[in-house]
Structure 1
Amino acid sequence: MNSLVLIAVGLLGILSGWFFYSRFIAARIYQLDAQFRTPAHEFRDGVDFVPTNRYVLWGHHFTSVAGAAPIVGPAIAVIWGWGPAFLWVVLGTIFFAGVHDMGALWASVRNRGQSIGGLSEKLLGSRARWMFMLIMFLVLLMVNAAFATVITNLLIQFPTAVIPVWGAIVVAIGIGQLLYRAQVGLLWPTIIGVGLLYGLILLGNAVPVALPAEIFGLSDRVVWVLLLFLYAGIASTLPVWMLLQPRDYINGIQLFVALGIIYAAALLSAPTVVVPFINDQVPAGTPPIAPLLFVTIACGAISGFHGLVSSGTSSKQLDRETDARLVGYGGAVGEGMLALAAIVCATAGFATLADWQAVYTNFGAGSVGAFVTGGANIVSQGLGIPAGLAATILTVTAALFAGTTMDTGVRLQRYVIQETGAITGIAALKNGTLATLLAIGFCLAIAFGAASDGTGGMVIWPLFGTSNQLLASLTLLMVTVILARLGRPVVFTLVPLVLVLTMAIYALLLQIGTFLGDQNWTLAIMALFILGAAIMVGISAVTALRQTGFSLLAHRHPAE
């Protein structure tokens, strides 16, 4: 099949969701109000609470929630064929991710910028709140520890990406100064920032940088992991306008340039999708498509991590409540477009089915490597860009996204620790510096405790997919309870949460069986704990929902 058909149908579906469905959800269900005073104005402090231009905030939100996951998940899931991955990405973006992300953002804005975990006590009680916060912390721990490994692998495998990945930090700081100190309009900083970033890509491609195999007795892999966490710790404590916002914004613009390059190259070269709609010759040991498809592709369809970002950082920067449509649903649209590009690169970027099968030899194969290699082939054939330079562009795109997710993830971990301090009355935990050091300490403990080379995050990564989707379903439960209490229809959040919750629990039960069979007691115990915590929160939410006497479709007056 010609990849142009895949691109055209996918983009048409996703953009239809933005122009029509998101407008309906924003106006009729969440009823966004431009006159509502957002927490960014009410609690403005210049550090975390900062009213932000909606396009800049969209960039922060989009790049924070994306990371490498909308590339990794689809590029792995195509092992079952391009059809299931394509349908889940397109339909998930329209009816699941956008509703979830905008809903979490709206719920937090309407409750003084509280995180979804913080809201759980108000709606469900203190016990449910503790369970919710523990799941949140574990998901953040997995993301931060694993993404450090992903970025390290990319920097080692593609040394041409080192200069642009680290140089982007300097560019972002400069953009922040132009926007907030010099009060320059958005246009010129955007043009200058993107120009500098692509100049760094050209420089990096010409001057690859590789660390020595050993530095002070530490391997290059260990040094990269330590440097990444040092950076993430510093970045998470700086005012959001100084680095987080401009870095995420310029990365978002850079991504759309990269997507434009991929789609333009595909338009000109019209590569053939060499993978069948349904692959009935999967490698031995490949798990069943249901429920694994729905937890393998999270970002790009629906992801619980998005709710943490929506209610953790984005809600504290929203200038007007109506901006939640662009930031929340629009961020999901951007992710869907990236996931669609990943599917195209991983299925049409190979010359023959045999070439593709040589890469996809087992479940988990392909991943970022298939995206970079396949995408570079398409770009090289369509636009005549040297394959090495095209690979550098796509590698930088993936690494920058993973880096921005680490920035936000460590900051969110700090929030969780500080919130714990507020709940327990332990004043020391409310200190931002100590909370950041603890967050980094937990990440390093996982990274180096489970593997001496700092890749320990990948040891617990098998739990991420199910934990993340459980978190997504619990976030939808919270939003559903809020809607029910307001007397608004809940069907638009209830249907997605039922499907996601069913698939997540099904997948987790399969994983528990596998862990027990392999005598992997650590992951088995963690999985059982996560399942128990999710069930406890779910029961509390269902009880609260039934007490509202909710209606699926009809509007009614809120209960007194």
Structure 2
Amino acid sequence: MSAMIVMFAGLAMMALGYFIYSKFIAEKIYRLDPDFKTPAHEYEDGVDFVPTNKFVLWGHHFTSVAGAAPIVGPAIAVIWGWGPAFAWVVLGTIFFAGVHDTGAIWASVRNKAKSVGALTGDVVGKRARSIFMIVIFLVLLMVNAVFAVVIARLMMSFPTAVVPVWGAIFVALIIGQVIYRRILSLPVVSILGVIALYALIWAGPSMPLQMPAEVLPGVSGNATWILLLFVYAAIASVLPVWVLLQPRDYINGLQLFVGLFVLYGAVVMLNPTMVAPMFNSDVPPGTPSLVPLLFVTIACGAISGFHGLVSSGTTSKQLNREPDARFVGYFGAMGEGGLALAAILVATAGFASLADWQAMYHAFGQGGVTAFVQGGAYIIHHGLGMPEVTAATLLTVMAALFAGTTMDTGLRLQRYIFQEWGEIYKQEWMKKPLPATLLAVGSCLLLAFGAGGADGSGGMIIWPLFGTTNQLLAGLTLLVITVMLVHLRRPMWFTLVPLCFLLVMTVTALLFQLRTFYEQGNYFLLGLDIVVLIAAILVALECAAALKRHRAAVASESQ
């Protein structure tokens, strides 16, 4: 099968989804109102609540939700063949992710920009809120701790990426000032910013920076990078959003979209063959079944609960006009779906032969970022003639910047969680940004170094539960949105069907994992899996009861 045909088919379907289906959802289901006063205007403070140009906000949202997950998940899931991964990414983006992301923004904006966890208390009940907040905290803990490890390992493995990754921060600081003070127009700033970022990528191979294997006695280079990343993320999480978060995400979003065009352009020029099978029956021993694991292995890129946290945590506080939620939320999901599609293409067509592909995927869990970088560099080199080391640097920086922007937003969201707990439990000190940030960073470092030792990779211990916990969060977010729609007497099937499918697949995957952890003797993950499973059941029951109450109330009012 030609990779170019697969690419155009996927992009065409997603384009139709945005221009037709998202318009229907925005106008007929969520009924986005241009005259509604958004929290960004009502509570404007210049720090967290800042009315923002929809293109800049799209950049923040897209790069925050994407991370490395839409690269890693699809590049692993093609072990079952590229066909199932392609179908779930395309259909999931159109009917699941776009609806979920737009709905989470809308629900939060209509409720004073509350996070989906706090919002659950108003829509469903206090018990559901308490359980939901724990699930949210676990997801954020996993994301922040693990993405720090991912970025650190990328910089240790590819020292040519260090200058572009850290240089992007200084470019963003300058751009933030230029945009905020209106020194230059947004198009001019955008062009100059992208040129600056690509100049850093071009310079990266000539200025590699290798962290020593052991910086201090007992402190590895990997651990040093992790510590530096958390120091940076802590500072970024308390700065006003316009200073660093918005411009960094916006300019990275543009740079990463250019990177996608380079990848897609190389596919068109080379027109490689999908050397991997469409449906792979010759999977390595020990590979779990496609159903339900496909639907939790590919989360970001199809649908992800983390998106709901960003949508209701930072994006809703910056939305200038309510109709902007369609462009920011749904088109943001399209961008992530496009990245996941590119990951599928390069992880299956970026090899010279089927034997080369099988050598990469000799065991489940192989592939991921490595397959993305190697396969993408192969396609760009042979399709566009770019030196392979430059192409590899470009793709490594893409992965690292996605992970970095997600970590920036993730730590800010974790700070919000502690502040909301301070609000709920009347702890005034916890409501302040600095103590909440220190608690967020401290919990991540406790997991990273407490569970992982001096290397700081403790987040990887609980990472096997990320897929199921994250998808559970997406299903529960759709439940909250559905309850709101019923209360407002609007059609609920467009959210109810995705959430039912997602909850069934996620709970089934949790049960599959219970057996796996038990057989492996991994009683820590077994216990954590049971906690997550119980939380899922309890919140689902609470939401079902709330849904029944609202439907009964609506029925009685109509009589």
TM above 0.5 = yes
- For residues 364 and 171 of structure 2, what CA distance do their matches in structure 1 show? 38
| 1:446 correspondence with 2:463 | no
- For residues 423 and 467 of structure 1, what CA distance do their matches in structure 2 show? 24
- For residues 452 and 35 of structure 2, what CA distance do their matches in structure 1 show? 52
- For residues 216 and 117 of structure 2, what CA distance do their matches in structure 1 show? 42
With over 3 angstroms needed to count, the CA separation of the structure-2 counterparts of 1:429 and 1:558, relative to structure 1, is farther
Q: 1:393-425 CA deviation, whole Å, 9 max, x = no partner?
A: 000000000000000000000000000011111
How do 1:222-233 and structure 2 match up within 5 A? 222-233=223-234
The answer for the alignment partner of 1:339 in structure 2 is 340
Q: 1:345-401 CA deviation, whole Å, 9 max, x = no partner?
A: 000000000000001011110000100100000000110000100000000000000
Match of 1:497 among 496, 499, 507: 499
| 8 Å CA contact retained: 1:488, 1:556 | no
Q: Which moved more, 1:118-127 or 1:351-360?
A: 118-127
| 8 Å CA contact retained: 1:548, 1:559 | no
- For residues 197 and 183 of structure 2, what CA distance do their matches in structure 1 show? 21
| 8 Å CA contact retained: 1:487, 1:557 | no
3-state SS of 1:548 partner: helix
- For residues 247 and 356 of structure 1, what CA distance do their matches in structure 2 show? 35
The answer for the alignment partner of 1:89 in structure 2 is 89
The answer for the alignment partner of 1:299 in structure 2 is 300
Q: Which moved more, 1:524-533 or 1:61-70?
A: 524-533
- For residues 558 and 47 of structure 2, what CA distance do their matches in structure 1 show? 38
3-state SS of 1:285 partner: coil
Amino acid at match of 2:501: L
With over 3 angstroms needed to count, the CA separation of the structure-2 counterparts of 1:545 and 1:277, relative to structure 1, is same
- For residues 237 and 335 of structure 2, what CA distance do their matches in structure 1 show? 24
- For residues 301 and 214 of structure 1, what CA distance do their matches in structure 2 show? 39
With over 3 angstroms needed to count, the CA separation of the structure-2 counterparts of 1:379 and 1:134, relative to structure 1, is same
The answer for the alignment partner of 2:474 in structure 1 is 472
Q: 1:188-214 CA deviation, whole Å, 9 max, x = no partner?
A: 111111000001011112111101121
Amino acid at match of 1:236: S
Amino acid at match of 1:66: A
With over 3 angstroms needed to count, the CA separation of the structure-2 counterparts of 1:259 and 1:557, relative to structure 1, is farther
Amino acid at match of 1:515: F
How do 1:31-110 and structure 2 match up within 5 A? 31-110=31-110
Amino acid at match of 1:486: L
How do 1:324-363 and structure 2 match up within 5 A? 324-363=325-364
How far off its partner does 1:548 sit?
A: 2.2
How far off its partner does 1:440 sit?
A: 0.3
Identity of aligned residues (%): 61
How far off its partner does 1:183 sit?
A: 4.4
Q: 1:305-360 CA deviation, whole Å, 9 max, x = no partner?
A: 00000000000000000000001001100000000000000000000000000010
How do 1:80-479 and structure 2 match up within 5 A? 80-217=80-217, 218-452=219-453, 453-479=455-481
Aligned-pair Cα RMSD in Å: 1.3
Amino acid at match of 2:396: T
How far off its partner does 1:549 sit?
A: 2.1
The answer for the alignment partner of 2:521 in structure 1 is 519
The answer for the alignment partner of 1:482 in structure 2 is 484
- For residues 99 and 195 of structure 2, what CA distance do their matches in structure 1 show? 34
- For residues 81 and 442 of structure 1, what CA distance do their matches in structure 2 show? 38
Q: 1:47-105 CA deviation, whole Å, 9 max, x = no partner?
A: 00000000000000000000000000000000000000000000000000000000000
| 8 Å CA contact retained: 1:484, 1:550 | no
| 8 Å CA contact retained: 1:487, 1:556 | no
- For residues 153 and 480 of structure 1, what CA distance do their matches in structure 2 show? 40
| 8 Å CA contact retained: 1:486, 1:558 | no
- For residues 36 and 184 of structure 2, what CA distance do their matches in structure 1 show? 27
Q: 1:151-195 CA deviation, whole Å, 9 max, x = no partner?
A: 111101111000000000000000000000244320111111100
- For residues 357 and 557 of structure 1, what CA distance do their matches in structure 2 show? 61
3-state SS of 1:248 partner: helix
- For residues 387 and 371 of structure 1, what CA distance do their matches in structure 2 show? 13
- For residues 403 and 232 of structure 2, what CA distance do their matches in structure 1 show? 13
- For residues 48 and 167 of structure 2, what CA distance do their matches in structure 1 show? 24
The answer for the alignment partner of 2:512 in structure 1 is 510
The answer for the alignment partner of 1:11 in structure 2 is 11
How far off its partner does 1:449 sit?
A: 1.3
| 8 Å CA contact retained: 1:487, 1:558 | no
Q: 1:12-41 CA deviation, whole Å, 9 max, x = no partner?
A: 011110000000000000000011000000
Q: 1:434-453 CA deviation, whole Å, 9 max, x = no partner?
A: 10001000000111111120
| 8 Å CA contact retained: 1:485, 1:550 | no
How far off its partner does 1:216 sit?
A: 2.1
Amino acid at match of 1:205: P
- For residues 296 and 235 of structure 1, what CA distance do their matches in structure 2 show? 30
Amino acid at match of 1:200: L
- For residues 474 and 243 of structure 2, what CA distance do their matches in structure 1 show? 30
Amino acid at match of 1:80: W
- For residues 114 and 57 of structure 2, what CA distance do their matches in structure 1 show? 18
How far off its partner does 1:3 sit?
A: 0.3
| 8 Å CA contact retained: 1:128, 1:536 | yes
Moved >6 Å (runs of 4+): 555-560
- For residues 263 and 187 of structure 1, what CA distance do their matches in structure 2 show? 24
Amino acid at match of 2:134: L
Could you list the runs of 5+ residues in structure 1 that have no partner in the other structure?
Answer: none
Match of 2:536 among 514, 534, 537: 534
- For residues 530 and 229 of structure 2, what CA distance do their matches in structure 1 show? 31
How far off its partner does 1:121 sit?
A: 0.7
How far off its partner does 1:517 sit?
A: 2.2
| 8 Å CA contact retained: 1:93, 1:336 | yes
- For residues 480 and 208 of structure 2, what CA distance do their matches in structure 1 show? 48
With over 3 angstroms needed to count, the CA separation of the structure-2 counterparts of 1:355 and 1:550, relative to structure 1, is farther
Amino acid at match of 1:152: A
Amino acid at match of 2:302: A
- For residues 105 and 346 of structure 1, what CA distance do their matches in structure 2 show? 33
| 8 Å CA contact retained: 1:487, 1:550 | no
How far off its partner does 1:515 sit?
A: 1.4
Q: 1:457-512 CA deviation, whole Å, 9 max, x = no partner?
A: 11100000000000000000000000000000000000000111000000001111
With over 3 angstroms needed to count, the CA separation of the structure-2 counterparts of 1:123 and 1:228, relative to structure 1, is same
Amino acid at match of 2:499: L
How far off its partner does 1:556 sit?
A: 9.2
Q: TM-score, normalised by structure 2?
A: 0.98
With over 3 angstroms needed to count, the CA separation of the structure-2 counterparts of 1:188 and 1:508, relative to structure 1, is same
Q: Which moved more, 1:519-528 or 1:304-313?
A: 519-528
| 8 Å CA contact retained: 1:486, 1:557 | no
